[in-house]
Structure 1
Amino acid sequence: MNYELWLILINITNFQKIKLIDKYKTAENVYNNFEEILIENKMVAKKLKNFEKESLYYEVSNLEKILLKKNIGYITYANPLYREKLSGILESPFFLFYRGDIDIINRKSIGVVGARKCSNYGLTVTKLLTKELITNNITLISGGARGIDSIAHKTALESDGYNIAVLGCGIDIAYPPENSVLFSKISEKGVVISEFLLGTAPFRENFPRRNRIISGLSDGIIVIEASEKSGSLITARLAHKQEKPVIVVPGSILYDGASGSNKLIRDGASICTDIEDLRVLLSLEHVNIKPMNFTPEKSEILDLITDSPIHIDDIFKNTSVDRGALYALLFEMQIKSEIICLPGNYYVKTI
């Protein structure tokens, strides 16, 4: 009998399982003292009414075979190597399933989160900031969702950095489906984790729970574009509750997709207005976001962007700058408050 899997499968809360481990030290001891536990612990006894400990034998055996076949590992609160890290998460999970190198969760990591439907501005900022984290040997942690999350994960991979993806479903399910290959690549130099049992669908209520794991495992959170109903705000507020840095990239006040993240700034989150902010707030050794030498020069770009909105495509048509470099320049000009981005990728001058 695999006693840890047995305790994972028992239908009691994470809190109750952790309390049992605190008292009995190991899952095997919980199993061997199960009858005594049912007598002493009325809450557990009520939850497990008519339950017999031997009844999970075949289910445990089957799960053990599936985990081995699919190369899925697991850790529990009973393991002293991970107890501190797991106990640092609000409403601590008793266990995590994982693919990859689980020891990576003990590295310094920063969460990068944001909108699923992000703007080109958000895309460019995510790439730039993620590269800086990797350059400073910081692990990227995010939720594997569409938009900002996926861009951050892909950028970390392209930069040969460490990566943690936290899923809101069973670890044997790829959600969103198009990220199946991405998750496989992350597990090669990083780790994909989930607190949900195998086969658990990506239900809406799973994602706030997923977000507390992102905030709990990270040493700080960067929010890039979040609407007022974005789950990224949950991640940020949980990190704030744990007294961890919450850094927000400002967006246009006219863009609904940044209204939630902008209000985080209003409510006290740190603002990333220039490259020094990132260095100071995260105590980075060096920051490589530097103004680039563009042709035409920045002054020529500013001649195109006036107090009348101009679309990104029109800016691109009238310069010789490739699109990726143009986005980087526009980001630099925005964090210096020289221009702002309006909904629909229109830009106006602020000076």
Structure 2
Amino acid sequence: MDYDLWLILVNISNFRKKKLIDTYKSAKNVYNNFEEILKENKIISKKLNNFQKDDLYYETINLKETLFKKKIGYITYANPLYSEKLSGILDSPYFLFYRGNIDLINKKSIGVVGARKCSNYGLAATKLLTKELITNNITLISGGARGIDSIAHKTALENNGYNISVLGCGIDITYPSENEGLFSKIAENGVVISEFLLGTPPLKDNFPRRNRIISGLSEGVIVVEASEKSGSLITARLALQQQKTVMAVPGSIFYSGARGSNKLLRDGAVICTDVEDLRVTLSLEHVHIKPMKFTPEKNEILDMITDSPVHIDDIFKNTSVDRGALYALLFEMQIKSEIICLPGNYYVRTI
């Protein structure tokens, strides 16, 4: 019998499970004293209603086999790996299922969150800020959703950084479905985590719960773009309640997708206008990089590509570089992270 998995499956609250561990020190002791617990604790007894501890025997065995087959690990409140950061979360989870290196939850991490439907500006800002975090050996934490979350995760991977992705569904469920490859790559050099039992669908109520874990594990949260009803604002509010630093990227007053993040600034979030704001607010050590030497052709392209998106057709029209050579240069500059290609063949500078 795996007593930790057995207690995970017992249908009582996180709070009650943690109180039992505080009293009995281990899940095995809880199991061995369970009849006495039911007699003494009327709340648990009423909640479980004629439950017997051996009722979960086969379910526990099946869960253990499934976790082994799917290479899913788990930690509980009783495990030394359980982070102090997790203990500080309101209604902290009793357990986490994970794929990857769970030790990362104890490393310095910053949350980057934002809209699922983000603008090109939001995409570029996310790439720029995430790259700066990774350059400073900070772990990126986000929610694995479409838009800003996925862009942040991909940028961290592209720059050989560490990722923590917190899911709002069972760890055996891929949501959104197109991120299956992304989550697999994160698990190779980072960790994907979930507080939900296997098979739990991505229900609407799961995501605010997920957001409290993002804010709890991070030392600060950056909101890139958020509408007035964005779940990212929940993450930001929770981080503020936990006395964490919250930064927001300013957006156009005419863009509805930035109204929520702009109001965060109005209500006291730290403004993030460039990477220097990020360095100062988070006390990052600026990584000095030797100035790069550019060819005349590359200089010509960089003169045209600014921090505002420029379409590839406009680059073609205003450069003397041969079309074939231009494609090769643009590709090379993307590989070196000198520029970023946005959806629709728009380009922006990162240097």
Q: Same fold (TM over 0.5)?
A: yes
The one-letter amino acid paired with 2:263 is K
Q: Does the 8 Å CA contact 2:312/2:347 hold for their aligned counterparts?
A: no
Structure 2 Cα separation of the partners of residues 130 and 176 of structure 1: 21
Overall identity of the aligned pairs, in %: 72
- Alignment partner of 1:80: what SS? coil
Cross-structure match for 1:349? none
Q: 1:287 to 1:253 in 2, by over 3 A?
A: farther
The one-letter amino acid paired with 1:328 is V
Are positions 1:324 and 2:335 aligned together? no
The one-letter amino acid paired with 1:179 is N
Q: Which aligned pairs between 1:1-351 and structure 2 lie closer than 5 A?
A: 1-286=1-286, 295=300, 319-320=318-319, 324=340, 327-329=347-349
Question: How far is the alpha carbon of 1:86 from its aligned partner?
Answer: 2.2
Q: Does the 8 Å CA contact 1:132/1:287 hold for their aligned counterparts?
A: no
The one-letter amino acid paired with 1:229 is K
Question: How far is the alpha carbon of 1:274 from its aligned partner?
Answer: 2.8
Deviations 1:126-147 (A, max 9, x none): 1111111111000000000111
Q: How many residues align?
A: 324
Structure 2 Cα separation of the partners of residues 119 and 191 of structure 1: 28
Q: 1:290 to 1:269 in 2, by over 3 A?
A: farther
Deviations 1:131-187 (A, max 9, x none): 111110000000001111111111111101101110010000110011001100100
Give unmatched runs, 5+ long, in structure 1: 333-351
Give unmatched runs, 5+ long, in structure 2: 320-325, 331-338
Using the size of structure 2 for normalisation, the TM-score is 0.86
Question: How far is the alpha carbon of 1:43 from its aligned partner?
Answer: 1.1
Question: How far is the alpha carbon of 1:318 from its aligned partner?
Answer: 5.3
Q: Does the 8 Å CA contact 2:133/2:140 hold for their aligned counterparts?
A: yes
Q: Does the 8 Å CA contact 1:105/1:164 hold for their aligned counterparts?
A: yes
Structure 1 Cα separation of the partners of residues 208 and 48 of structure 2: 27
The one-letter amino acid paired with 2:348 is A
- Alignment partner of 2:348: what SS? helix
Question: How far is the alpha carbon of 1:276 from its aligned partner?
Answer: 2.0
- Alignment partner of 1:68: what SS? helix
Structure 2 Cα separation of the partners of residues 176 and 4 of structure 1: 30
Q: 1:180 to 1:255 in 2, by over 3 A?
A: same
Structure 2 Cα separation of the partners of residues 68 and 296 of structure 1: 52
- Alignment partner of 1:236: what SS? helix
- Alignment partner of 2:110: what SS? strand
Structure 1 Cα separation of the partners of residues 198 and 91 of structure 2: 20
Question: How far is the alpha carbon of 1:14 from its aligned partner?
Answer: 0.5
Deviations 1:51-74 (A, max 9, x none): 000100000000000000100000
